[in-house]
Amino acid sequence: MNLHNKVAIVTGAGEGMGRAIAIRFAKEGANVVLAEINQAAAEETLATIGGRALAVPTDIAKVDQIDDLIARTVEAFGRIDILVNNAGVTKPLGFFEVTEADWDWMYSVNARGLFFCMQRAAREMVNQRAGKIVNIASIAGKGFRGTSNIAYAGTKGAVIAMTRIGASQLARYNINVNAICPGATRTNLFEMGIAEAVAKRKVTREEAVRRMEATIPLGRSNSPDDIANMAAFLASSEADNITGQSFNVDGGLMWD
C-alpha cells in the first residue's frame, strides 16, 4: 500500500478518523493536505505528520472554500491523486427532535459538501486520467438502527448512492470511487453516544461501552486506525480494479 509521492486531500483531518487517515497516508509516503474547519486541530495533525503536508482551513459546507482548497492543493503539489471525504457532522436526536436547521446543517456538510468536493477534485484527476476517491459513509446509511438520528442516516445513504453513481460516471477517466461504512468507532461521536447511554440508563461509562460492544459480533468497536487501514488500501494501487463499492468496517454489525 505504497502512496509514495501521491497527493492526497483528507477532509475533517483534525481529529478522529480523518486524523488517523492523514497520519497513515503520510506514513505511506503521500503528500497530505489537511482540510479542516478547526484550525487548531489541523495544526496538531500537521505537527504530528511534519514533512510534506499542508493545512488548509476549509468549511466543507461552503463551495467557495472547497474551490480554494482545490486551488491551493494544485498550487502546492501540482495535482490531486487521492481525495478522502471524511468531514461529517451529526448529534443525537430523536425522530421528533430533528429540526429544519439540523437537517440543513447535516446535509450541507455530509451530502452537498461531499459531492462538490468529489466534483472539484475529479476535475483535476481527469487531467491525469487517474485518481482515487474514498467517501466516508456509515452503516447508518444502510439502515443501522443505532444511528444518531434519521437525518444523519439519510445523508450517509446519499453518500452510498453518490459513490455508486460517481464510480459509474468517472470510470471512463480511470477514477475509482469507493466508500467506507464505519460502525461504532471511538471518536467524539462515539463518546456522545456513550454519554447519552450513561444518562439514560444510569450506568457507568465502562458499563455503557461494555453493553454496546456486546452487540458487535467481533466484540469490539473500531479504533480510527481500523478505518485508516481500509482507506489506505482503497487509495492504493492494490485497489485499482475496485470501484462503486461500500465496505462495512464494523466488527460484523451489518452484513450488506
Amino acid at 48: T
pTM: 0.95
Average pLDDT per 10 consecutive residues for the chain, totaling 256 residues: 92 97 97 97 95 94 98 98 97 96 98 98 97 98 95 98 98 98 91 86 91 94 97 98 98 94
Summarize pLDDT for 196-226 with one digit per residue, the tens: 889 888 999 999 899 989 999 999 999 999 9
> Structural domain of residue 98, as residue ranges?
7-184+223-249
CATH classification of the domain holding 15: 3.40.50.720
**Res 1: pLDDT:** 59
**What does the H/E/C string look like for 208-241?**
HHHHHHHCCCCCCCECHHHHHHHHHHHHCHHHCC
Q: How many of the other CB atoms lie within 10 Å of CB of 209? A: 21
Active-site residue list: 152
Write the DSSP symbol of residue 105: H
**Res 197: pLDDT:** 84
**Res 200: pLDDT:** 85
Which residues partner with 55 through β-bridges?
34
Helix (H) or strand (E) holding 7: strand 7-11
Residue 209 counted as domain residue = no
Residue 206 counted as domain residue = no
Residue 218 counted as domain residue = no
Which grid cell is 159?
A: 453518500
Residue 205 counted as domain residue = no
Residue 136 counted as domain residue = yes
Question: In angstroms, what CA-CA distances link 139 with 41, 46, 110, 174?
Answer: 26, 29, 14, 27
**Res 25: pLDDT:** 98
Indicate the SS3 state at residue 83: strand
Residue 198 counted as domain residue = no
**Res 253: pLDDT:** 95
Phi, psi angles (nearest 5°) of residue 82: -140, 140
Total number of domains constituting the chain: 1
